[in-house]
């Protein structure tokens, strides 16, 4: 499910913050990301977290 959000890059250009428009209900969530480096090489991964 896609979630409405705003995003902001960190000052170091190496971190990103996503602010969700709605509160998350308790449960397990997975964040999947993908990005291209300066050489256009694509990469991606995922990580999970829980909201209690
Ligand atoms: Cu590369």
Residue 39 zone, left/alpha/beta (φ > 0; ψ -120 to 50; rest) = alpha
Strand partners, 33: 45
Question: CB–CB of 28/48 below 8 Å?
Answer: yes
Domain boundaries, the chain: 24-52
pLDDT tens track for 1-52: 788 999 999 999 999 999 999 999 999 999 999 999 999 999 999 999 999 9
Question: CB–CB of 26/52 below 8 Å?
Answer: yes
pLDDT tens track for 10-23: 999 999 999 999 99
**CA–CA gap between residue 20 and residue 17 (Å, rounded):** 10
User: For ligand 1, a single-atom ion, which residues have Cβ within 5 Å?
Assistant: 37, 39, 41
CA of 22 to the centre of ligand 1 (A): 35
The whole-number pLDDT of residue 1 equals: 74
Which residues are CB-neighbours of 49 under 8 A, at least 6 positions away?
28, 29, 31
CA of 39 to the centre of ligand 1 (A): 5
């Amino acid at each position: 499910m896609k979630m409405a959000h705003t995003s902001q890059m960190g000052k170091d250009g190496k971190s990103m913050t996503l602010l969700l428009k709605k509160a998350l209900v308790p449960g397990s969530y997975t964040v999947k990301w993908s990005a291209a480096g300066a050489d256009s090489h694509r990469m991606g991964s995922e990580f999970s977290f829980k909201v209690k």
